[in-house]
């Protein structure tokens, strides 16, 4: 079994979900008392969010690259960044280590292609929705990406940082998200990507008519399968 190197803490709530999913799949596939081999570096999210707000992506890349280097030294076989937004610095992290970074957008693109989705709504932080580091991976796979209008982007982003990252789950915020998803469906979206690891705490498949692609579930599932791919 391979050892997973998690870079988590952004937020810690979603990191817990990664840990849970990976262990559940390993147990299901291997049976008995099997559990995943995991190393976790849990970042201080306040430090990372400050870098995001100030646009200091180089500093955040340095922080997370050091985390990845330490995980590699500790014996990790590959790195999993347990958040969508910080994949913006995935190339810098990859350049500092000799083990692969498993990219969340590539895992999501693979799942969308498997489900024959060619036009998809993307919800996430404002960085994930508007910048190419994430959308570009999907578009290069031949998938058209739809995002909310400017007020919608601000609404989605504010709820992530001011509620979901603090563990606050609000019914009124869920309704706002559902209205935004409905408007993107009217524009032709065939599915919706929950492109922030916290959104799955608020929106589930039972809430939405469109197929929901929870990136935490997709990324964690791929992580589990990679960790046991040579196990009987």
CB 226 within 8 A of CB 78: yes
**DSSP letter (8 states) at residue 98:** S
Query: How far apart are alpha carbons 229 and 232 in whole angstroms?
Result: 8
The reported pLDDT for the residue numbered 93 is 98
The reported pLDDT for the residue numbered 232 is 56
**pLDDT by 10-residue block (mean), the chain, 232 residues:** 96 91 97 97 95 94 98 98 93 97 95 96 94 91 96 96 91 97 97 90 93 94 94 64
| Helix, strand, coil content of the chain in percent (nearest 5) | 60, 15, 30
Sign of the dihedral through C-alpha 4, 221, 49, 44: negative
> Helix 215-227 and helix 12-30: axis angle, to 10°?
40
**Two tokens, residue 185:** 């469906």
The reported pLDDT for the residue numbered 13 is 85
- Strand order from edge to edge, sheet including 212-214: 144-146, 119-123, 192-194, 212-214
**Two tokens, residue 73:** 């030294």
Query: How far apart are alpha carbons 57 and 51 in whole angstroms?
Result: 6
CB atoms within 10 A of CB 213: 21
Q: What structural domains and CATH numbers belong to the chain?
A: 3-103+218-227 (3.40.50.1860), 104-214 (3.40.50.1860)
Q: Active site includes 196?
A: yes
DSSP string, 201-225: GT--GGG-SSPEEEHHHHHHHHHHH
- Of the residues 196, 197, 215, 223, only one is catalytic, namely 196
**Backbone torsions φ then ψ of 211, nearest 5 degrees:** -60, 135
Residue 116 CA from chain centroid, whole number: 21
- Of the residues 15, 83, 197, 216, only one is catalytic, namely 83
**Two tokens, residue 49:** 């969010």
């Amino acid at each position: 079994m391979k050892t997973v190197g998690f870079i988590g803490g952004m937020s810690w709530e979603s990191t817990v979900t990664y840990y849970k999913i990976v262990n559940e799949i390993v147990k299901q596939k291997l049976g008995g008392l099997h559990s995943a081999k995991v190393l976790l570096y849990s970042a201080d999210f306040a430090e990372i969010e400050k870098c995001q707000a100030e646009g200091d992506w180089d500093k955040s890349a340095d922080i997370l690259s050091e985390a990845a280097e330490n995980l590699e030294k500790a014996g990790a076989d590959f790195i999993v960044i347990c958040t969508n937004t910080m994949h913006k610095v995935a190339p810098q992290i990859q350049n500092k280590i000799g083990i692969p970074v498993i990219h969340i957008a590539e895992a999501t693109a693979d799942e969308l292609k498997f489900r024959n989705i060619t036009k998809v709504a993307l919800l996430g932080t404002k960085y994930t929705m508007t910048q190419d580091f994430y959308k570009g991976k999907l578009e290069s796979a031949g998938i058209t990406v739809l995002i909310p209008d400017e007020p919608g982007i601000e609404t989605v982003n504010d709820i992530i940082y001011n509620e979901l990252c603090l563990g606050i789950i609000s019914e009124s915020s869920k309704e706002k998200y559902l209205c935004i998803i409905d408007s993107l469906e009217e524009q032709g979206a065939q599915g919706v990507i929950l492109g922030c690891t916290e959104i799955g705490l608020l929106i589930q498949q039972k809430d939405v008519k469109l197929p929901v692609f929870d990136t935490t579930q997709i990324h964690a599932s791929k992580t589990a399968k990679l960790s046991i791919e040579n196990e009987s």
